[in-house]
């Protein structure tokens, strides 16, 4: 049996994946992006807006699952962010957000953590019913 070696000239993209707590969303048809985070020292911290990974029926299913969790208060301890970056969520952008009680957990793939503590190239994989939101921490 011959063994084929990987070509050293080819780059392979390796994604990371972990679960995150859904703390809100931006409205769309019916939602545009999930706003996710993780717990640290009992506080929920914002990590990313997740727009990728959805198809029409999946957006509707996730939206249905989030019904009844709406709240007027932002659940994230580190929002709004003062520094404007591609991944930040500023006070102005927060006006369009719908906040949720942080009870639902989503599996998210991403390429890496940015130096500011955000997810780069985040993509929705699915909902997790086997994890409690309060147990979700940033994995290293």
Domain ranges of the chain: 16-102+113-132
Complete DSSP assignment for 22-82: EEEEEESSSEEEEEEEEEETTEEEEEEEE-BT--HHHHHHHHHHHTT-EESS--BTT-S-S
For each of the chain's 140 residues, which pLDDT tens digit applies?
455 566 677 766 678 999 999 999 999 989 999 999 999 999 999 999 999 999 999 999 999 999 999 999 999 999 999 888 888 899 999 999 999 999 999 999 999 999 999 999 999 999 999 999 999 999 98
pLDDT in tens, 25-61: 999 989 999 999 999 999 999 999 999 999 999 999 9
* Per-residue model confidence (pLDDT) at position 15: 87
Considering the segment(s) 16-102+113-132 as one domain, its CATH architecture is Beta Barrel (2.40)
CA–CA separation, 21 and 137 (whole Å):
9
Buried b (16+ CB within 10 A) or exposed e, 22-54: bbbbbeeeebebbbbbbbeeeebbbbbbbeebb
Q: Apex CA 138: angle with CA 125 and CA 124, to 5°? A: 15
pTM over 0.85: yes
Question: CA 51 → CA 1, 38, 116, 130, 140, distances in Å?
Answer: 44, 18, 19, 23, 23
């Amino acid at each position: 049996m011959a063994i084929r070696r990987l070509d050293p000239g080819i780059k392979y993209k390796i994604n990371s994946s972990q679960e995150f707590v859904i703390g809100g969303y931006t409205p769309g048809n019916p939602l545009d992006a999930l706003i996710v985070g993780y717990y640290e020292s009992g506080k929920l911290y914002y990590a990313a807006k997740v727009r990728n990974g959805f198809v029409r029926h999946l957006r509707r299913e996730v939206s249905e699952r989030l019904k009844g969790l709406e709240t007027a208060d932002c659940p994230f301890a580190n929002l709004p962010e003062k520094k404007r970056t591609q991944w930040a969520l500023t006070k102005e952008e927060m006006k369009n957000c719908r906040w949720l009680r942080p009870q639902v957990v989503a599996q998210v793939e991403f390429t890496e953590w940015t130096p500011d503590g955000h997810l780069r190239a985040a993509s929705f994989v699915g909902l997790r019913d086997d994890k409690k939101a309060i147990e979700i921490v940033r994995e290293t």
